[in-house]
Amino acid sequence: MIAKTILSQIGGNHFVVMVGAKNMIEIEKGYGLQLDFMRNKSKATRLRVILDADDTYTVQFIKKGQKFSVNLYVKYTREQIEEKMADKVVKEYKGIYCDQLRGLFERETGLRTSLTHIYADC
């Protein structure tokens, strides 16, 4: 339920279409949302938004780890493979209010979340 609320606060279906969002899942026992989105200037391709106890959000921009392949298995040790496959947090913001989510995402990634921002001055 909270994941749906977070998605609507970010922009809902407009957001999904504009950034190519996919693989949306609930995380943190239903208190968060995680999704993948298209390439952008921040190098992050995964967004994680978690509701905190003080009714604000922790927002993480994550670079997904490499997928496992035979090339990794042949060239690297087990520890190196695990490091390459692990997700890395590019940026993390704490204490973000719901009305700041959209602007933060647009500033960090350079992706637009809705066409209404573009045509608002008409």
User: Which two structure tokens, joined as six digits, stand for 42?
Assistant: 């921040």
Full 3-state SS string of 14-63: HHHHHHCCEEEEEECCCCEEEEECCCCCCCCCEEEEEECCCCCEEEEEEE
So what's the pLDDT on residue 92? Answer: 97
So what's the pLDDT on residue 70? Answer: 74
So what's the pLDDT on residue 80? Answer: 85
Tens digits of residue pLDDT in 35-50: 999 999 999 999 999 9
> What is the Cα Rg of the chain in Å?
16
So what's the pLDDT on residue 117? Answer: 55
Stretches where the chain sits below pLDDT 50 are 119-122
**The model's pTM:** 0.84
So what's the pLDDT on residue 119? Answer: 46
Compute the distance between CA of residue 94 and CA of residue 78 in angstroms, rounded to an integer.
33
So what's the pLDDT on residue 118? Answer: 54
Tally: H helices and E strands in the chain: 5, 5
So what's the pLDDT on residue 72? Answer: 67
